[in-house]
Amino acid sequence: MDSSTAVLTSPLIALLAFLGVIILLLFLIAKWRWHVFLALLVPLLIFGVIPGVEQNNFIDAFETGFGSTLGSIGVVIVLGSIIAEALRHTGAIQTITRSMVRMVGSTRMPLALTLTGLVLGIAIFADVAYVILNPLVHSAAKMMGTTVAVMSVGLVGALQLTHAIVPPTPGPLAAAALVGADIGATIMYGSIACLVGALSGWIYGQYIIGPRIKTMPAEKYTGENLLEDDPKANLPGVFSSYAPIAVPILLISAQSVSRLFLEQDHIIRTWLAYIGWPVMALSVGVCLAYRNIRTPEHRKDSKNAWVEDALRVSAMILVVTGLGGSLSEVLKATPAVDYIAGFFANYGLPSILLPFVIGIIGNMITGSTTVGVITAAALVAPMLGTLGLSPEAAMLSGACGSVIIKYVNSSYFWVCTSLSGFDAKDGILGYGGVTLVGGITSFMTVWAMWAAGFI
């Protein structure tokens, strides 16, 4: 730490201030129900008046952290939200679901829905996706003569996993920016972790908890089936539906892979550096999503309404991410970072546990996966060098923790529980349980990849 830019030089005061910020943040959200923006801002402003703090350096760190973080991912988050709006309105979600059912067979609908959730969670918010797929959950359960839990638990877990772990979903994208992780590598290794976690969740729902929750499908939904052909629906094709999600991911991943195998001045690597730049890759995704517009009404809405909706969705994530960057930059300029990292080293604790635990705490207190993953990234980012963690390992570890555990303080929990017709107990066993199983197995996969030196 450079003393000329240090925010605080006293190790004891720095450590106490660090703990105070975390306790106050969680208290404001959990006890007083403050919005996360104010709950992040107020502890930071209080930090700035602690005795011993150099205010000029504090202001510089605050502004640098906020600006640099948003500068790298602000536009990308908005573009990703526009793609989500387009997928929701053009019927691409219905086409993707049908393709998954055809791939695994209609007799394996729980697995098909789990795989659908794995894909859709990358592009759209988990609660929105579940609202759209809920009629299919009930109608498929009715068709197969099984419970809603058997049909839905794997889907709920899978949606939450990719929503928390795989960019360009806003939460993990913001976390990757905070720790400086390579987005392409994060996508590749995060997808592996999510696949393992989603399949574990499917097993949990299909064979362990699903048969124990006796809620049967609601009659009001059983007449609605996303898989039935409707000539008036005018749905996009399979390739067109997947393209807005798959093409940007492939472009970003190709950019990362090119760095491993090609010289810096190679023409292909130079070209991929631009086309695989997340802003450019997501812009391509927006264009591909807009090609799925089939009706004059959608064509009109896409020009303004979809963009405005995307901006509204993005606003909270942008400001929270910016404040997370400020918090990270301020903590980096204090000796507290070295002490916390040293604690893990002195006691022989695996450093990869730290972001995982912070992600769990952030999610369980606030009920928000996005807040959990961003908080873990912001707090761990200044410690990466001392902890010996790569940015990708730290981000993925915190993201896995942010899935654990969805219960009564989570809006996603209540959306899924109420639409499924569960009471709170069954919701905790089914949907809380699958996020616990999925989060742990995904984390164990990340740990294994980290231990093997892949990340």
pLDDT of 271-284, one tens digit each? Answer: 998 999 999 999 99
Domain boundaries along the sequence of the chain: 55-236+294-451
Residue 223 has pLDDT above 80, yes or no: no
3-state secondary structure of 62: helix
- Cα dihedral 363, 369, 370, 376, rounded to 10, equals 50
pLDDT at 354 over 60: yes
pLDDT band at 170 (very low <50, low <70, confident <90, very high): confident
Rounded to an integer, the average pLDDT of 344-354 is 80
Q: What is the largest CA-CA distance in the chain?
A: 70
Q: What is the 8-class DSSP label of residue 431?
A: I
- Looking at residue 364, its pLDDT comes to 81
Instruction: Calculate mean pLDDT across residues 104-126.
Output: 91
* 15-19, 31-35, 85-89, 435-439: least confident range: 31-35
Q: Is 232 helix (H, G, I), strand (E, B) or coil?
A: coil
Q: Smallest Cα–Cα separation from 26: which of 321, 323, 368?
A: 368
Position with higher pLDDT, 375 vs 316: 375
Please provide the DSSP assignment of 308-347 as one string.
HHHHHHHHHHHHHHHHHHHHHHHHHTSTHHHHHHHHHHHT
Average pLDDT over residues 100-116: 91
Residues near 367 by Cβ (< 8 Å), separated by ≥ 6?
Answer: 406, 409, 410, 411, 413
47 burial (CB, 10 Å; 0-12 / 13-18 / 19+) is buried
Per-residue pLDDT tens for 129-150? Answer: 898 888 889 988 988 889 999 9
- Whole-structure pTM value: 0.85
What's the average model confidence in pLDDT over 190-203? Answer: 97
Q: What percent of the chain has pLDDT over 70?
A: 95
Pair 37, 323: CB distance under 8 Å: yes
Q: What is the pLDDT of residue 222?
A: 59
Confidence label for 316 from pLDDT (cuts 50, 70 and 90): confident
Q: What integer pLDDT is reported at residue 228 of this predicted model?
A: 65
pLDDT at 401 over 90: yes
Q: What digits encode the pLDDT tens for the residues 229-286?
A: 665 667 889 999 999 999 999 999 998 888 888 888 889 989 998 999 999 999 999 9
CA distance 198 to 163: 12
Q: Give the pLDDT band (50/70/90) at residue 320.
A: confident
Provide the pLDDT for residue 309: 86
Q: What is the pLDDT of residue 349?
A: 79
Average the pLDDT over 4-18 and give the result: 81
The rounded distance, in Å, linking the Cα atoms of 349 and 49 is 34
The pLDDT value given to residue 2: 59
Q: Are 133 and 121 in contact (CB under 8 A)?
A: no
Per-residue pLDDT, 118: 95
In the chain, what percentage of residues exceed pLDDT 90?
Answer: 41
Contacts of 42 (CB under 8 A, 6+ apart): 24, 28, 34
Q: What are phi and psi of 57, to 5 degrees?
A: -70, -35
Task: Please state which of the ranges 30-34, 169-173, 216-220, 411-415 shows the lowest mean pLDDT.
Answer: 30-34
Contact, 346 vs 367, CB < 8 A?
no
Residue 231 has a pLDDT of 58
Q: What pLDDT, on a 0 to 100 scale, did the predictor assign at position 339?
A: 75
Residue 216 zone, left/alpha/beta (φ > 0; ψ -120 to 50; rest): beta
pLDDT at 24: 86
Q: How confident is the model over 65-90, as pLDDT tens digits?
A: 888 878 877 888 889 889 988 888 88
Q: Alpha helices of 216-291 — where are they, by DSSP H?
A: 238-261, 267-275, 278-290
The pLDDT of residue 443: 98
Nearest CA-CA partner of 17 in 334, 323, 328: 334
Angle between helices 170-179 and 148-165 (to 10 degrees): 30
CA end-to-end span of the chain, whole Å? 26
State both tokens at 101.
């059912």
Please state, rounded to an integer, the average pLDDT across all residues of the chain: 87
